[in-house]
Amino acid sequence: MIDIDNYSYIETSRLYLKYVNIDNAQDMFEYCNDEETVFYLDFDRHLTLNDTINSIKSYFMLSPFGKYGIFIKDNDKMIGTIDIRLNNNEYSNLGWVINKNYRNKGYCSEALLGLISFYSSKLNIRELYAIHEVSNIASERVMDKANFIKLNKFFKKEVKKNERTMCIHKLQIKK
């Protein structure tokens, strides 16, 4: 049986990952309110801070295992989130988003590597899958940098009433 308290905090060189709570609503609203940021995500743009608070309560706080805010150590700002869903299959174990003011600094990759290393040291994980929309080059690059292999397997997924083409990547952890 997993004690979720043992999974509540993960540290990397510039960041820490921590379960999300209501105190983080303003930082999360900053990027969830941005249409461009949520384009590839499967939820609609948050119009009010209350939308963000509701999402934190219903998604993050109700079952926090595997769902983390990404915080910069230097200023405790929450710049995004990263999720690992271990009961999933090749249609994605992982998800992430970074506030656009903090992109292309390696933060998502650092968070992902920290998360994978932490979980694979504690649990018997053989492989992980991640998916991205084919046009989402930044997300694909994050997968590349974490040594995921592109399977060249594609499938269609409806995101916000539009059909999108997704590509599957796999990371082999144990043979």
Ligand X SMILES: CC(C)(COP(=O)(O)OP(=O)(O)OC[C@H]1O[C@@H](n2cnc3c(N)ncnc32)[C@H](O)[C@@H]1OP(=O)(O)O)[C@@H](O)C(=O)NCCC(=O)NCCS
Given the complex with ligand X, which of 19 and 148 has the nearer CB atom? 148
- According to CB under 6 A, which residues from 55 to 94 bind ligand X? none
User: According to the binding rule CB under 6 A, does residue 116 interact with ligand X?
Assistant: no
**Residue 44: Cβ-neighbour burial (10 angstroms; 0-12, 13-18, 19+):** exposed
Given the complex with ligand X, which of 4 and 101 has the nearer CB atom? 101
Given the complex with ligand X, which of 4 and 104 has the nearer CB atom? 104
Other Cβ atoms less than 10 A from the Cβ of 17: the count is 24
Give the residue carrying structure tokens 């960041």.
15
- The three-state DSSP-derived secondary structure of 22-38 is HHHHHHHHHHHCCHHHH
Q: Which residues contact 67 (CB under 8 A, 6 or more apart)?
A: 19, 20, 59, 60, 81, 83
Given the complex with ligand X, which of 73 and 105 has the nearer CB atom? 105
Other Cβ atoms less than 10 A from the Cβ of 85: the count is 15
User: According to the binding rule CB under 6 A, does residue 170 interact with ligand X?
Assistant: no
Smallest distance, Å, CB 1 to ligand X?
A: 31
The token duo for 120 is 């694979």
Near ligand X by CB under 6 A, which window of 35-43, 49-57, 58-66, 113-121? Answer: 35-43
Residue 6 carries which DSSP code? G
Near ligand X by CB under 6 A, which window of 14-22, 117-125, 132-140, 150-158? Answer: 132-140
Give the residue carrying structure tokens 């271990």.
86
- According to CB under 6 A, which residues from 91 to 110 bind ligand X? 96-98, 103-109
Task: Give the footprint of ligand X on this chain (CB under 6 A).
Answer: 37, 40-41, 96-98, 103-109, 132, 136-139, 141-142
